[in-house]
Structure 1
Amino acid sequence: MARTRPHYGGTLRVETAGDPWQHPDGIARRLVYDGLTQLDSDGALRPALALTWESDGNNHRWQFRLRSGVHFHDGSPLTSAVVVASLTTSCSSECPWTAVKAVGPLVVFTSDSPMPNLPALLAGNAFLIGSGPMGDGNPTTRQGTGPFQVTGFNNGVLTLAANENCWQGRPFVDAVEIRVHRPVREQWLDLGVGRADVVEVPAEQLRQAQQQRLSVLTSPPLVLVALQVADSGTLANVKLREAIAAAVDRSALYNVIFQKQGEITASLLPQRLTGYSFLFPAGRDMNKAQELRGGLTSGPLTLATESDGAMQLAAQRIALNLREVGFNVQMAPAGANYADLILRKLQFTGIDRAASLEQVMRSAGESGPVTEATPMALFKVEQMYLGEKKLIPLLDLPLACARGSRVRDLHLRADGTPDLADASLEDVR
C-alpha cells in the first residue's frame, strides 16, 4: 500500500521503568542533548555538533570544528568554550584525553597516549553537550541543542516540547511525555488500551511480548552482562578469581533467567563484531573451579547488582554457583558499589570494533586506549585483559521496545534506544 507522508503534531507518550536521565542510556538524554559526533542507525559515525575533525601527532592531538549557527534551547550560542566546560564537567577523571581546550571555533583534545578511537567515543551518551549547572536533579536547569527541550517534570511525568529551531530540523511530534518509574507489566497494559505509545521490553520478556503480539523493535546484542571481580583484599589471588570464572553457569542464566535471548559469551565483544568470540571458552568447569580454589580461603564475599528483577535473579544464581564450589557468598543491597563481586551491564555501540572494545573496557574501569583495530590485535587485547579475571563476560543481550498502532517511522538508534525525533503519529490531522 502507498504510504502517506508523516504528519506533524501530536504528543507521543512514552513509559519507562527507570529514570529517563540515568547515565548513560536514559531515553531523554538523546532527545535533549547532542554530541560532537553521532552514530546513525547502522552504527556508522556521522557529524553532529562538530562538522569536521582531524588528527595529527599520531593521534595524540585531535581538533573538532563546530557546526556554525547552533543554539541551545535558551537561545545562547554553541561555542567551543561551552563545549569544553561541558566535557570537563561530565568527564572529570579517566577521560580518553589528557586535556581539552577551546581555540576559536575548534575544540582541541590532546593526550599523552594515542587516541585513534576518539571520534567514535565522543558519540557516546557520556559526552553529550549541555549548558548550565549539573547535579541539582532538576532537568530544566540544563540546556541542550537537541530536537526536544524540557518544559516540566511533575507528578512523575517529564514533558518535552519540539525544538522549532533545531539544527537537525524540527521533529514531527509537538511534544513527548515520559511517564517514569512505571512497572513493565503496567506499561504493556497502558499500551494495549491506548494510554501509551512506546514502552519498554526487557530482554528476558521478549518472547512474552512476541506471544502477546506486541509490535516489538529489537536491536542486535548491545549489552554485555559481566561479573566485575575485585582484585584486592580477599580476591587479590588470581587463582581465586579464576575459580570464580570457572564456576559460573552461563547456560542457566541464558536458558532460565533471560529466556534464551541474546548470546552466551566469554568475550568482551560479540561474535558479529569480531568473529573470534568463540575462541574464549564459555562452559562451566566445576572440577577446574574446585582445583583452582584448592585449599585457598577467601573469607566471606559480597555480591551486588542493579536493582531490576532479572539481574537480581541472575546474581542469586551466580551466588549459588559459587557456593557449590565452596565460596561463602552473601548478597549485598541492590546498587551497592562496595561489593567484592558486582554483576553489571556494559553497553557498546557502533560497528567500529576498536572503539567498541575501548568503550566496554573504559566502562569497566580500564583506562588504557585500544590502539590497533585488526582482529588479531583486538583478540590479544581481550585475551590479556580477561586473563586477569577482573571482568568475567557472561551474556550479550539485545535492547527492545514496543510501539502502539498509531506510531509511524520509529526505529532504534545504534545504542538501542528508540529515536523519537523521527517518529510521527498517524492520527494527527
Structure 2
Amino acid sequence: MTGLHERHLAVSPDWLALYYRKPLEITHGEGRHVWDADGNRYLDFFGGILTTMTAHALPEVTKAVTEQAGRIIHSSTLYLNRPMVELAERIATLSGIPDARVFFTTSGTEANDTALLLATAYRRSNQILAMRNSYHGRSFSAVSITGNQAWSPTSLSPLQTLYVHGGVRTRGPYAELSDDRFIKACVADLEDLLGHTREAAALIAEPIQGVGGFTAPPDGLYAAFREVLDRHGILWISDEVQTGWGRTGDHFWGWQAHAENGPPDILTFAKGIGNGMSIGGVVARAEVMNCLDANSISTFGGSPVTMAAGLANLSYHLEHDLQGNARRVGGLLIERIRAVGAGCPAVREVRGRGLMIGIELVRPGTDEADPEAAAAVLEAARAGGLLIGKGGGHSTSVLRIAPPLSLTVAEAEEGAAILADALQAAT
C-alpha cells in the first residue's frame, strides 16, 4: 500500500470504498483526461461519478470560480445572492415546471431529502412509492427509499416505502413481455398496490437508474404511471441527479422520455451542473415548494462560488450544444461497445442513451451476475489508460460509462478500443 492509502485507511470508515487493488490518487485533469500521482495519464469515462459533466479544468468555469472567490465566497441564503437568483431563473425556465421555485442544496442526496420533506408535508403522508433497484442518496431518508439493497444499510426508516416494478427492463417477472405489455403490467401492479395502501405522498423515480446499472424502462412508463398517480393526488418526483442536463442526448431531462402528461411535480438535480462543484437542488411548482409552515434556510446551498460555477458551466453547455454532442458521440460509442459485446460471452447486455452506457457482465452461458469479472475489467481498463465505473443491482456487475459531454469522436474510438482489450483480457 502507498503511504496515502495507509493514512486513508487509518482515518476513514471501513465502508468508504475505493476503486482498484492499488487505489488511485488523481492529481489534475484537463479536458477528458486526468493524471495520477505517478504521472500516468487516463481517458476519463466516469467523470467523478458523472459530476465533471463538461470537461476537467474548463477555463470558463475556473475563471468564474476564481473571480467570484476574489469578491466573496460565502454569505448564506439570509442575504440576497445575485448568482443564485440568476441560476435559479435559468433552471426554473429549463425545468418545464410551471410557476417553478428552486431551492439549492449541496448534493443530490440533500436534494432528494428536501423533495421528500416537501412531498410528505404537502400530502400529509409519510408513505413513499419508489422503484425496485433504485438509488437516491446516502442520508437516513434517502437510504430508506433506495431499492438497491447494496446501498441501503439500515431497515430503520422515517418513511413507509413501497416498491414498484418497472425500473429494470430485462430482468424480473415482466422481462419477456413486449414494451407495451411491460408498461401495462407495471401499471396494473401499481394500481393493485395502491388498492391495498393508504394514500401515498409521492412516487420518486430515476428516469434511468444510475447506481442500479443504467437500467431504464420503456419510454412512456412514467407517463402511464402519472395517469394513475394523478387520480390519487400522488406527486411525481423525478430524480434527475444523473440523467439531467442532456446526458441522455435525446432529452435535456430524463423525464422528457415520459412527457405525455407534462413535467413532474418535483424535480431534483445535482452532479453535472457544477462541473465538479457541490451543487444540488429541487424544482417544484410554487404550491408544493411553499407548503412548509416553518422557517428554513440553507447555510451552504446556493454558495456564491458554486452558483458562479453553475452559471458558467450551463452557459458553456448550451452554447456548445453538449446535449447534441452526447447524442451524436454517444450513439457512436454505444455502437462500438455493442460490437465489442457481441463477441464477448460475458456481456449479457449493452444498454444506455447518449453518454450514459452500461455493460452488464454475467458468467458465460448463464444470467448470473459476475461482479468479479466487472472488477477485473475495471483493473484492465485502468492498465490500458481508461477510467470507468461500476454499478448494478445487488452486485456490482455492470460497467458504467459516462464521459464528460464534450467527448470527441477520436476519444470515443480510443475508449472503445481500450474497453475491447480490457474485456478480452479480463473475461
Indicate the structure with greater strand content: 1
Q: TM-score range by the shorter chain?
A: under 0.3
Larger gyration radius, structure 1 or structure 2: 1
Normalising by structure 1, we get a TM-score of 0.26
Indicate the structure with greater helix content: 2
Normalising by structure 2, we get a TM-score of 0.26
